[in-house]
A = this chain, B = another copy of it.
Amino acid sequence: MSAQDEASGRTLILGGVRSGKSRLAEQLARASGLPVTYVATATASDQEMGARIAAHRQRRPADWGLIEEPLALAAVLESCCGPGRCVLVECLTLWLANLLWAEEAGRLQRELDALDALLPVLPGQVIFVGNEVNMGVIPVNELARRYGDLAGSLHQRIAAQAQRVVLTVAGLPLVLKGPPLAGVA
């Protein structure tokens, strides 16, 4: 196995709201020792989201690259992933929500297909963060059910391709796949 192979890998960090998933993802990115690009799918559409984005930004090292992209995730990953690089995607579920609301016919499926095609061949380290949204009462709202179905399926597909999958609960990591976590606290 070449050095390049060793350094490549996909990680999925899942967790509920305020479960510590972003912090863990950032620790793993830092611990990679590689140059990091942070891909933010959030848009500061309202004050509350703006405040969350600002808080996340303040926590990140100043030398990390930043790409803000609500929809074209595969295209962004294709452009910024590479051997010896680490890319952190925050977050998948927000990206899905953006696509559901985008109201551009066929866009959602095209973006999902593009990511699925890209996943097995992405070079370098890629860390995906996703919200676990499917362990509550099934929503009455049909769009919310569709969202849950899409999120669960996407998490499954990424988990199947990932070398490491972690669920965070109360700030603590529960490793679902791959080696135990070391070097993060």
Closest to A173 in B: B176
Q: A12-B170, A131-B138, A176-B170 are in contact. Are A156 and B19 (CB under 8 A)?
A: yes
Number of interface residues of A (CB under 8 A): 40
- Chain B residues positioned under 8 Å from A19 (CB to CB): 134, 152, 156
The secondary-structure label for the interface of chain A is mixed
Stretch at the interface among A26-34, A107-115, A141-149: A141-149
Query: Is A20 among interface residues, defined by CB-CB distance under 8 A?
Result: yes
- Chain B residues positioned under 8 Å from A152 (CB to CB): 16-19, 170
Whether the pair B135, A132 counts as a contact (CB closer than 8 A) is: yes
Query: Is A172 among interface residues, defined by CB-CB distance under 8 A?
Result: yes
Query: Is A136 among interface residues, defined by CB-CB distance under 8 A?
Result: yes
- Chain B residues positioned under 8 Å from A48 (CB to CB): 142, 145
Query: Is A160 among interface residues, defined by CB-CB distance under 8 A?
Result: yes
Query: Is A159 among interface residues, defined by CB-CB distance under 8 A?
Result: yes
Interface string of A145-183 (1 = CB under 8 A from B): 101110111011011100001010111101011000000
Q: Can you give 5 contacting A-B residue pairs, CB < 8 Å? A: A18-B149, A18-B151, A18-B155, A167-B170, A169-B176
Query: Is A81 among interface residues, defined by CB-CB distance under 8 A?
Result: no
Instruction: State in angstroms the CA–CA spacing of A64 and B148 once bound together.
Output: 29
Instruction: State in angstroms the CA–CA spacing of A159 and B170 once bound together.
Output: 6
Whether the pair A17, B159 counts as a contact (CB closer than 8 A) is: no
Closest to A93 in B: B138
- Chain B residues positioned under 8 Å from A16 (CB to CB): 132, 134-135, 152
Query: Is A119 among interface residues, defined by CB-CB distance under 8 A?
Result: no
